[in-house]
């Protein structure tokens, strides 16, 4: 009985110890140890194992050998014995043809019968469009529920090789040693072979069997430069929009496939992995698609059919109410939406290009298809790479999208709301499953439970708004098709985030309370400001950098008016008022410059210059005592905010910051030539996308505003001054 070891299966353990490696058994004419990546076959005479490539036996040929003789044994025992063909309608062609067994998919009899059948025309369901009409705006407005056919590439943004591009050209650009998955159509079985061997087979005048290549992904080859995927597939793709460059998981490459099929190649009914949508373009030749709608009933039938033991003997198109036939000729592009069940027949030799992509329009269906794959125990090789990981990335980004729409008083489209609901359910189930299946795909920098909680909160906000709108209150604006793009590039998202931050600053500044009634409001407000900004302690008190400005301006503009109001309610001496304002300025990072003549004395604010200074020595004495007490209390409480921040998310917030961001139009003000510090004001520049940000503690490479200007020894840090203000307010010892 012939025994083979497929290249993709492991049959032994490679020893790591040097001595064990030396003692490992050696095989084949090359006398090498077992290699899990190489196909091997056993000789039925000497029982030694041989690499298929060493004895010129392809993996797909091995199934045709009944008794194998290695090169040494065939000298004495003759050549290998081949299996006898007894039928043309079964995957195992050695079965006797007694008429009792049904036709199986992919066999020559099956293909002939399929070509003779009639089907409803796909013109009933296909959407005929021109390339420039297939836009994200159109699909977000009209939906992506039916297949789209585009007769010409013009306007699609699709770049392809010329129609003269051949199978030999593929070998030249990809490399002959590339291992490709090849389907033996008559057996509907997968095997591996080198691309050059497939090319040799393709150009044979007589092909002994029908072989089909449908999974050659070439993003990592020179041929990738020849193909640019359609604009719609790039703009909507989750991988292109949401996959961060610094992800622990390798980036999925599923956007560039080359399909090379010979006449009568057939792929049975399937749903593309992860419920991905797919684009196909026939460069030359012809393909026929058999399409079935992904209705609830059809999906249930499909799952039952896929798990049945006689799947290959039942044509799934017969189990549903309608199966549509779509002929895709040379030069035509087809877009198939999420979940569509389809089979493909290659009616003549054909080369096609295609790609898969996940998107926001059909999130629920994508998740349903993924869970179906899990129930069917689909091998990882045939599933979307790191599907769960990208869903976590998408959830994080959609949370920001929902927040932005809510702040803009803009109602998100129904497909997004329903998609997020389905995503929340899936994420919860995946977290529960980790208890028994520890193979987690949750990215390291994502806090899953918190993310789910915040997404749920946003959905609750939407439902409350909808209920209040139905009750007669002012409803949210409907999400326009072009007002707020829901799938943005990295730069677009960064720019939008910057505008959102600026809007928050303006909103807070205009709505800050001006005359609070007591000091507790000051403390509460300060905490709310810092919490909203998610700002951790600044480094040390130093000149205000470009990045600190929005935070400092917000604190200064919103909290200092509170102090003014408190001072009106509780009259104080000018000195203690100065101390309070000085503390707030320090907290905000707005340091006053030290004048040269005061370098040897205690620092005083710029407003206590001779023109503003009171001649009353008693007041000066009080001022010095207050400052001394303030310094003493700061020193005593310097660990207060450290203990507060240790239990907070300040470090996490800082991990998302980039203090070295440069400003586009800086405006620097130097009060006088003799000052030690200058503070700069700049426009709000967009933050970097998380995937582009540097390490949290990376120092600025070149920052002229801070170069050579270190904080003076003994000066209190911002968090210490803030701790002083908060603690004094609680103890009613604030110097007012």
Most confident option among 356-360, 519-523, 534-538, 642-646:
356-360
Does the pLDDT of residue 12 top 70, yes or no? no
Domain 26-82 architecture? 2-Layer Sandwich (3.30)
Q: How many residues does the chain have?
A: 736
Query: What residue spans define the domains of the chain?
Result: 26-82, 108-240+252-384, 389-510
Q: Calculate mean pLDDT across residues 427-454.
A: 88
Residue 640, both tokens: 């207060």
Between CA 444 and CA 442 the distance in angstroms is 6
Does the pLDDT of residue 473 top 90, yes or no? no
Does the pLDDT of residue 174 top 60, yes or no? yes
pLDDT band at residue 73, thresholds of 50, 70 and 90? Answer: very high
Residue 329: DSSP 8-state = -
Does the pLDDT of residue 382 top 90, yes or no? no
Does the pLDDT of residue 655 top 70, yes or no? no
Contact 185, 106 (CB under 8 A): yes
Between CA 311 and CA 324 the distance in angstroms is 20
Q: Calculate mean pLDDT across residues 128-149.
A: 96
Task: Report helix, strand or coil for 592.
Answer: coil
Residue with the bigger pLDDT between 633 and 394: it is 394
Q: What per-residue confidence (pLDDT) applies to 427? A: 96
Q: CA 61: distance to chain centroid?
A: 41
Spatial CA neighbour of 155 closest among 124, 183, 132, 134: 132
Residue 33: DSSP 8-state = -
Q: What per-residue confidence (pLDDT) applies to 18? A: 46
pLDDT band at residue 35, thresholds of 50, 70 and 90? Answer: confident
Q: Is the dihedral of CA 409, 412, 413, 414 positive or negative?
A: negative
Residue with the bigger pLDDT between 546 and 35: it is 35
Between CA 252 and CA 301 the distance in angstroms is 30
Q: What per-residue confidence (pLDDT) applies to 471? A: 57
- The rounded percent of the chain whose pLDDT value lies above 90 is 51
288 φ/ψ angles, rounded to the nearest 5 degrees:
-120, 125
Between CA 720 and CA 636 the distance in angstroms is 9
Residue with the bigger pLDDT between 657 and 194: it is 194
Q: What per-residue confidence (pLDDT) applies to 172? A: 97
Residue with the bigger pLDDT between 543 and 467: it is 467
Q: Calculate mean pLDDT across residues 185-212.
A: 94
The DSSP secondary structure of 98-153, one letter per residue, reads -S-S---TTSHHHHHHHHH----BGGGT-EE--GGG--HHHHHHH-S-S-EEESS-
The DSSP secondary structure of 34-82, one letter per residue, reads --TTS-EEE-TTT--EEETTTTT--HHHHTTEEE---TTTHHHH-SPEE
Q: Is the dihedral of CA 95, 98, 102, 105 positive or negative?
A: positive
Task: Enter the CATH code of domain 108-240+252-384.
Answer: 2.60.120.650
b/e sequence 215-243, b meaning 16+ C-beta within 10 Å: bbbbeebebbebbebbbbbbbbbbbbbbb
Contact 43, 68 (CB under 8 A): yes
Does the pLDDT of residue 390 top 80, yes or no? yes
Most confident option among 46-55, 153-162, 468-477, 683-692:
153-162
Q: What per-residue confidence (pLDDT) applies to 34? A: 86
Does the pLDDT of residue 315 top 80, yes or no? yes
Per the listing, tokens 């001779």 go with 610
Does the pLDDT of residue 182 top 50, yes or no? yes
User: What confidence tens digit (pLDDT) does each residue in 215-239 have?
Assistant: 999 999 999 999 999 999 999 999 9
Does the pLDDT of residue 84 top 90, yes or no? yes
Q: Calculate mean pLDDT across residues 461-481.
A: 66
Q: Calculate mean pLDDT across residues 388-411.
A: 94
Q: What per-residue confidence (pLDDT) applies to 710? A: 36
Q: CA 652: distance to chain centroid?
A: 20
Between CA 326 and CA 345 the distance in angstroms is 10
Class of domain 389-510: mainly alpha
pLDDT band at residue 728, thresholds of 50, 70 and 90? Answer: low
Q: What per-residue confidence (pLDDT) applies to 548? A: 41
Lowest-confidence pick of 20-34, 325-339, 547-561: 547-561
Q: Calculate mean pLDDT across residues 311-321.
A: 97
Q: What per-residue confidence (pLDDT) applies to 221? A: 95
Does the pLDDT of residue 59 top 80, yes or no? yes
Most confident option among 342-351, 376-385, 470-479:
342-351
Between CA 556 and CA 469 the distance in angstroms is 37
Lowest-confidence pick of 113-117, 646-650, 655-659: 655-659
pTM over 0.75, yes/no: no
Q: Calculate mean pLDDT across residues 461-489.
A: 62
Does the pLDDT of residue 591 top 50, yes or no? no
Q: What per-residue confidence (pLDDT) applies to 303? A: 97
- How much is the mean pLDDT over the chain? 75
Q: Calculate mean pLDDT across residues 396-424.
A: 94
Spatial CA neighbour of 586 closest among 736, 717, 473, 460: 717
Does the pLDDT of residue 582 top 90, yes or no? no
Between CA 81 and CA 414 the distance in angstroms is 64
Lowest-confidence pick of 144-153, 179-188, 415-424, 440-449: 440-449
Q: Calculate mean pLDDT across residues 20-43.
A: 82
Q: Calculate mean pLDDT across residues 443-457.
A: 93
Q: What per-residue confidence (pLDDT) applies to 628? A: 56
User: What confidence tens digit (pLDDT) does each residue in 541-573 have?
Assistant: 333 333 344 444 444 455 544 444 444 444 444
Does the pLDDT of residue 610 top 80, yes or no? no
């Amino acid at each position: 009985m012939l025994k083979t070891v497929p290249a993709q299966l492991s049959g032994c353990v490679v020893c790591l110890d040097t001595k064990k490696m030396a003692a490992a058994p050696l095989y084949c004419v090359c006398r090498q140890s077992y290699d899990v990546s190489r196909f091997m076959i056993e000789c039925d005479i000497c029982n030694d194992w041989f690499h298929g490539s060493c004895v010129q036996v392809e993996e797909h040929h091995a199934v045709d050998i009944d008794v194998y003789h290695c090169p040494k044994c065939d000298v004495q025992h003759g050549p290998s014995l081949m299996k006898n063909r007894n039928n043309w309608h079964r995957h195992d062609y050695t079965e006797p043809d007694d008429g009792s067994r049904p036709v199986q998919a992919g066999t020559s009899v099956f293909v002939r019968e399929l070509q003779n059948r009639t089907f409803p025309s796909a013109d009933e369901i296909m959407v005929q469009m021109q390339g420039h009409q297939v836009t994200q705006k159109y699909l977000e407005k009209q939906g992506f529920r039916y297949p789209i056919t585009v007769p010409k590439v013009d306007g699609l943004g699709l770049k392809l090789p010329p129609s003269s591009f051949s199978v030999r050209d593929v070998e030249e650009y990809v490399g002959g040693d590339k291992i490709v998955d090849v389907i033996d159509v008559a057996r509907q079985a997968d095997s591996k072979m080198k691309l050059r061997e497939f090319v040799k087979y393709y150009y044979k005048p007589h092909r002994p069997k029908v072989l089909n290549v449908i999974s050659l992904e070439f993003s990592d080859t020179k041929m990738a430069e020849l193909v640019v995927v359609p604009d719609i597939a790039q703009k909507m793709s989750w991988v292109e929009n949401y996959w961060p460059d610094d992800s622990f998981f390798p980036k999925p490459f599923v956007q560039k496939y080359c399909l090379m099929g010979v006449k009568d190649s057939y792929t049975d009914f399937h749903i593309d992995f992860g419920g991905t949508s797919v684009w196909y373009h026939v460069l030359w030749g012809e393909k026929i698609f058999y399409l079935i709608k992904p209705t609830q009933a059809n999906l249930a039938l499909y799952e039952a059919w896929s798990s049945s033991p006689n799947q290959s003997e039942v044509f799934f198109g017969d189990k549903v109410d309608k199966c549509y036939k779509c002929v895709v000729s040379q030069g035509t592009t087809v877009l198939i939406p999420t979940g569509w069940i389809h089979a493909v027949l290659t009616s003549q030799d054909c080369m096609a290009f295609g790609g898969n992509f996940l998107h926001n329009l059909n999130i629920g269906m994508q998740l349903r298809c993924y869970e179906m794959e899990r129930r069917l125990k689909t091998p990882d090789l045939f599933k979307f790479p790191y599907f769960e990981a990208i869903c976590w990335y998408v959830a994080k980004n959609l949370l920001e999208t929902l927040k932005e729409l809510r702040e803009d008083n803009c109602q998100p489209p129904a497909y997004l709301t329903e998609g997020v609901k389905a995503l929340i359910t899936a994420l919860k189930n995946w977290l529960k499953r980790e208890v028994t299946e520890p193979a987690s795909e949750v990215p390291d920098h994502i806090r899953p439970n918190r993310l789910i909680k915040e997404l749920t909160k946003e959905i609750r906000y939407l439902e409350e708004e909808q209920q209040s709108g139905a009750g007669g209150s002012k409803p949210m604006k409907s999400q326009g098709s072009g007002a707020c793009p829901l799938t943005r590039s990295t730069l677009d998202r960064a720019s939008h985030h910057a505008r959102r931050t600026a809007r928050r600053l303006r909103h807070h500044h205009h709505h800050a309370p001006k005359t609070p009634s007591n000091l507790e409001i000051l403390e509460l407000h300060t905490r709310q400001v810092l919490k909203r900004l998610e700002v951790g302690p600044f480094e040390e008190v130093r000149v205000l950098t470009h990045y600190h400005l929005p935070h400092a301006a917000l604190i200064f503009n919103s909290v200092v008016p509170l102090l003014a109001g408190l001072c009106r309610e509780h009259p104080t001496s000018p000195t203690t008022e100065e101390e309070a304002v000085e503390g707030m300025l320090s907290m905000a990072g707005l340091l006053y410059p030290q004048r040269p003549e005061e370098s040897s004395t205690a620092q005083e604010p710029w407003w206590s210059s001779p023109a503003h200074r009171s001649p009353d020595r008693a007041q000066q004495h009080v001022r010095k005592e207050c400052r001394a007490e303030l310094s003493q209390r700061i020193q005593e409480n310097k660990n207060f905010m450290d203990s507060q921040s240790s239990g907070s998310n300040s470090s996490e917030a800082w991990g998302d910051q980039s203090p070295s961001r440069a400003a586009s139009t800086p405006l620097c003000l130097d009060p006088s030539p003799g000052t030690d510090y200058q503070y700069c004001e700049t426009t709000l520049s967009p933050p970097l996308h998380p995937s582009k940000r540097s390490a949290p503690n990376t120092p600025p490479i070149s920052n002229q505003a801070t170069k050579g200007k270190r904080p003076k020894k003994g000066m209190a840090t911002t968090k210490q001054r803030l701790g002083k203000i908060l603690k004094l307010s609680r103890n009613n010892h604030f110097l007012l």
